[in-house]
Amino acid sequence: MVETKVSKSQTKSTSQLEKPPSLMRGLMLSKITSWVLFILLSVLAVVQLLPLVWLFFFSLKNNQEVFNLSPLAFPTEPKWENYVTVWTQGNINTYFFNSVWITAASVLLTVFVASFVTFAITRMKWKWNKLVLGLFMVAMMIPIHSTLIPLFSFYTTIGIMNHPLALIITYSAFNLPITIMILLGFYYTLPREVEEAAIMDGCSVHRLFFTIILPMTKPVLATTAIINMIYNWNEYVFVNTFISSDRFKTLTVGIQNFIGQYSTDWGAIGATLMISIIPILLAFFVLSNRIVEGITSGSVKG
């Protein structure tokens, strides 16, 4: 009895109430359980990362090494030239820069337009604001394939088929709902006193929005920008449908075509895939907290 008491008090002082107050045996058991769970989570982490590690390794090999070495053996002489070759010969550089500027332009357009409408919905007084918000939220459930044919014919009619503009406006429209959703939570928490003071001072709504509200939302703007960036960078169906000339293709469709032509050269394929995912991985490395925040705030509050 006394022993139990002692061990109990010790447990409390060492683990700071984190573990349920239990007997020695229970404690041992929970320690084993927590190790088992930790190993389980680690295995899952390996499963999630292993294909990418394998990709990185075979991007540095030639076919002979891919076929003969063990899949997870680092090549003896890494073939970094695979990267140089595909960058210059496979048109990958053009695709890469197209991806960069089309992504950037779409992100800018989306974030601005979404900020305007979120400001009007959350801060201004009008009858239809809930209805308009609902319109954007329902749009999230709409399959893009149900819009493809009309968009195809619309863009052909107005002459922006096979032009980056078709991508930029399509990306912006389809990313508005998620962007508004992320902005919404932040806008609701902005204190009303700020606006009141500004308006009392005779500030116009435009000045209020551009010089006071917009700068205040900088942190959440960064979150929406990075989420938008990931979506646009990775987008495939619209590019595949709207863009036919190599000059305007982005990385996703570009590398798909490239791989179609060089389907037997594993090293080249690995290198192109690595080039297409490195910017995203870098962004994740630097901004992982923002990405996590964007993904959770975009769906948990739904």
Partner 1 sequence: MLYDFKKKGEHEMDKVMSDKKVILLYVLPALILIMTIVYVPIILTGYYGLLKWDGIGEKTFIGLDNYSKLLTDSMFWKSTYHSFLLAAFSVISLGAYLLVSVILSGKIKGSNLFRKIYLVPMLLSSVAIAQLWMKVYHPTNGVMNRFLLSIGVENPPLWLADTSIVLYAIFLPIIWQYAGFYILIYYAALKNIPESLVEAARIDGASPWQIAYKIKVPLIAGVIKVTIVLAVVGSLKYFDLIYIMTDGGPNGASEVMASYMYKQAFRMNDFGYGSAVGFFLLLIALTVTWLIRKLTATKEEVQY
Please list every residue from 138 through 167 that binds partner 1, using CB under 8 A: 139, 141-154
- Residue 6 interacts with partner 1 (CB under 8 A)? no
Q: Of 76-84, 86-94, 182-190, 250-258, which part binds partner 1 (CB under 8 A)?
A: 250-258
DSSP 174-219: HHHHHHHHHHHHHHHHS-HHHHHHHHHTT--HHHIIIIIIHHHTHH
CB 74 to partner 1: min, Å: 15
Show the site string, 101-140: x = touches partner 1 by CB under 8 A, - = not: ------------xx-xx-xxx-xxxx-----x--xx--x-
Of the two residues 28 and 37, which places its CB atom closer to partner 1 in the complex?
A: 37
Question: Which residues neighbour 94 within 8 Å (Cβ) at sequence distance 6 or greater?
Answer: 246, 247, 249, 254
CB 247 to partner 1: min, Å: 19
CB 18 to partner 1: min, Å: 5
Closest residue by Cα to residue 215 from 193, 194, 243, 241: 194
- Type of residue found at 295: I
CB 271 to partner 1: min, Å: 12
Please list every residue from 69 through 108 that binds partner 1, using CB under 8 A: 71
CA dist 93 and 251 (Å) reads 9
Distances (CA, A) of 206 to 98, 209, 224: 33, 5, 22
Are the beta carbons of 34 and 18 closer than 8 angstroms?
no
Q: Of 76-84, 90-98, 212-220, 279-287, which part binds partner 1 (CB under 8 A)?
A: 279-287
Are the beta carbons of 95 and 101 closer than 8 angstroms?
no
Closest residue by Cα to residue 102 from 250, 278, 284: 250
Q: Which two tokens stand for residue 50?
A: 């292993």
- Residue 29 interacts with partner 1 (CB under 8 A)? no
CB 246 to partner 1: min, Å: 16
- Residue 14 interacts with partner 1 (CB under 8 A)? no
CB 278 to partner 1: min, Å: 11
- Residue 45 interacts with partner 1 (CB under 8 A)? yes
Count of residues that interact with partner 1, criterion CB under 8 A: 96
Please list every residue from 186 through 245 that binds partner 1, using CB under 8 A: 195-196, 199-200, 205-206, 209, 230, 233-237, 241
CA dist 260 and 76 (Å) reads 28
